[in-house]
Amino acid sequence: AQSVAQPEDQVNVAEGNPLTVKCTYSVSGNPYLFWYVQYPNRGLQFLLKYITGDNLVKGSYGFEAEFNKSQTSFHLKKPSALVSDSALYFCAVRDGGTYKYIFGTGTRLKVLA
């Protein structure tokens, strides 16, 4: 069965420092991987995706993620965090054979000024 794990409930980072939000996945076929961000009282906003191609994908707001097939990971990264990046981040996987998303439990990112 498909699954997504976000091992950290919360990540704290100082403004200007690099940030990483972790995600590992398990799928039976080729993975389609996604990151979303949710600001308070707002819906989810799409950040980036990996379908195929380069393992490093770049997305919105300066975020990027690295697909690592051997480690079944898709960690979200940003070189320099902003206080405005503070939000709830969700990793999601879609099995290549279906249209359904499986969401991780979410990681709350707090960027400290």
Partner 1 sequence: SAVISQKPSRDICQRGTSLTIQCQVDSQVTMMFWYRQQPGQSLTLIATANQGSEATYESGFVIDKFPISRPNLTFSTLTVSNMSPEDSSIYLCSVDGSGQGVGEQFFGPGTRLTVL
Binding residues vs partner 1 (CB under 8 A): 32, 34, 36, 41-46, 49, 51, 90, 94, 96, 98-101, 103-106
Which of 107, 96, 102 minimizes the C-alpha distance to 32? 96
Supply the minimum distance, in Å, between the C-beta of residue 73 and partner 1: 18
DSSP-derived 3-state class of residue 16? coil
DSSP-derived 3-state class of residue 54? coil
Q: Which is nearer to partner 1, 68 or 98 (CB)?
A: 98
CA distance 53 to 68: 12
Q: Which is nearer to partner 1, 106 or 111 (CB)?
A: 106
Number of other residues whose CB lies within 10 A of the CB of residue 108: 15
Supply the minimum distance, in Å, between the C-beta of residue 44 and partner 1: 4
Supply the minimum distance, in Å, between the C-beta of residue 103 and partner 1: 5
